[in-house]
Structures are given as C-alpha cells and as structure tokens.
A and B are shown apart, each in its own frame.
Chain A
Amino acid sequence: KQEVTQIPAALSVPEGENLVLNCSFTDSAIYNLQWFRQDPGKGLTSLLLIQSSQREQTSGRLNASLDKSSGRSTLYIAASQPGDSATYLCAVSGGAGSYQLTFGKGTKLSVIP
C-alpha cells in the first residue's frame, strides 16, 4: 500500500526566503506526482504535475523535482511571499493505469511579513 510522507509538518519563514518542502513515497511504481496548495477551508489548487518519466517541473517561483527510484520529491519556493502561506500537499498516483491519488498530510507554510 502506497504511503506518502511530508516533512516538515509545519514551517515558518520570513518573507523573501527560499524554502524546500519534502515529500517521500514508499512505492516507486507511480504514474505521476502532483503538488497542491490548500488554503484554510478551501479545495485544492494544482501547482505542478510531474510525470514519472520527468525529473522536474517549473512554474514561476516554484520548482518541483522527482527522484522516482528513491521515492522522493521536493518543492522549492523561491523568494517566499506572505501570499504563499497555505498548506502544501503532495500526492502520487499509482502505476499500471491507476489514477487514484494518495496524499500526504501536508506541510503548513507560514511566511512572516
């Protein structure tokens, strides 16, 4: 059974800092990996999707990497802003045509002005 772990559970940084969020998964047979953002009481916003054949994806100040063989992914946020404060969720979808997502518990990020 796939398990996804996110470290740290919470992170507080001053505005302007670069930061890294970590995600690990136990079964490397994944179809893809996604990073989401969730604001309090809201749904999920997809940030980046990395296919299993890819090593990284970039969108603006966000960069996500994937090392499938070691079961790890990182989300790098450059020049953090207070508006980045949210919970960041990592999710992997299974291989062999399974599209079900398994989520981590998330990292709650607070960017202090």
Chain B
Amino acid sequence: GAVVSQHPSRVICKSGTSVKIECRSLDFQATTMFWYRQFPKKSLMLMATSNEGSKATYEQGVEKDKFLINHASLTLSTLTVTSAHPEDSSFYICSARDLMEQFFGPGTRLTVL
C-alpha cells in the first residue's frame, strides 16, 4: 500500500511555543490530505481537510488560527499548532487520499508542558 510519513514522531514543548508537524505521501501524489486528533480512549476526530493549493476546510469547533494548515505540494502538508497550551497535548495523525482510499501516517505525539 501507499506510504505516508509524519515528522516528528514525538515532540515536547513549552507552553506558548509553536510546533510544526509534517505529513508526506512518499510514493503517490495526494490532492487531499486530512488531519486528525486522537485523545486517549476516544475516536479519531477530523480536524481539517487540506487540498493542495487551496485553503484548508476546518471542522466545526476547530480554531483555524490556532491550527494552521498548509498544503503547498501534492506530497506535503503541514500542521502548525500556534501558541501551544497543555490542552493541545494529543496524538495528531494525518492521512492522504489516493484514488479511493486513505492512507494514514504513524502519528505525532505532542506534549505541551
């Protein structure tokens, strides 16, 4: 199957700093990428849908000014958590769509102290 990578896999930062997470489709071009957030023992919650070359579509309740998404190329999307706070600590997972299926990255564990 297609491969999606995420970097970093784990990040610890101080409150107030910004953190960038990269999502790459390694062997296919993805016109659409998705960003999810997962809390312990909870479902994956879709945060936003990112289309190459256009603005991301955010789900209700997700602050677009806090979670900046850029999809500058067909193989790369980035999520920047701005002015991170402890409540932003979570597991963030991206996925990329290839024709009929979504392929998921390995996730990024963000801990904000």
- The interface of chain A, by Cβ under 8 A from chain B, is 4, 32, 34, 36, 41-46, 49, 51, 89, 91, 93, 99-106
- Please name 14 further chain A to chain B contacts, defined as beta carbons within 8 Å, in addition to the given A41-B109, A101-B34, A105-B42, sorted by A numbering: A41-B91, A41-B107, A42-B106, A43-B106, A44-B95, A44-B104, A45-B104, A46-B101, A46-B104, A49-B101, A100-B49, A101-B46, A104-B43, A106-B43
| Docked CA distance A36–B43 (Å) | 12
Asked if B32 is at the interface of the complex by the 8 Å CB criterion, the answer is yes
Closest B residue by C-beta to A31: B100
Closest B residue by C-beta to A90: B43
- The interface of chain B, by Cβ under 8 A from chain A, is 1, 6, 32, 34, 41-44, 46, 49, 91, 93, 95, 97, 100-107, 109
Are A99 and B43 also in contact (CB < 8 A) when A43-B93, A43-B107, A44-B93 are? no
Tell me how far the C-beta of B36 lies from the nearest C-beta in chain A, rounded to whole angstroms: 8
| Docked CA distance A51–B99 (Å) | 13
| Docked CA distance A103–B38 (Å) | 11
| Docked CA distance A45–B1 (Å) | 10
Are A43 and B102 also in contact (CB < 8 A) when A89-B44, A103-B43, A103-B44 are? no
Are A105 and B41 also in contact (CB < 8 A) when A46-B101, A49-B101, A99-B97 are? yes
| Docked CA distance A46–B97 (Å) | 13
26 A-B pairs in the complex with CB atoms less than 8 angstroms apart: A4-B43, A32-B100, A34-B101, A42-B106, A42-B107, A43-B6, A43-B93, A43-B107, A44-B44, A44-B93, A46-B1, A46-B104, A49-B100, A89-B43, A89-B44, A91-B44, A99-B102, A100-B34, A100-B46, A100-B49, A101-B95, A101-B102, A102-B46, A103-B43, A103-B44, A105-B42
Chain A residues positioned under 8 Å from B102 (CB to CB): 34, 46, 93, 99, 101
Tell me how far the C-beta of A6 lies from the nearest C-beta in chain B, rounded to whole angstroms: 9
Chain B residues positioned under 8 Å from A104 (CB to CB): 43
Tell me how far the C-beta of B93 lies from the nearest C-beta in chain A, rounded to whole angstroms: 6
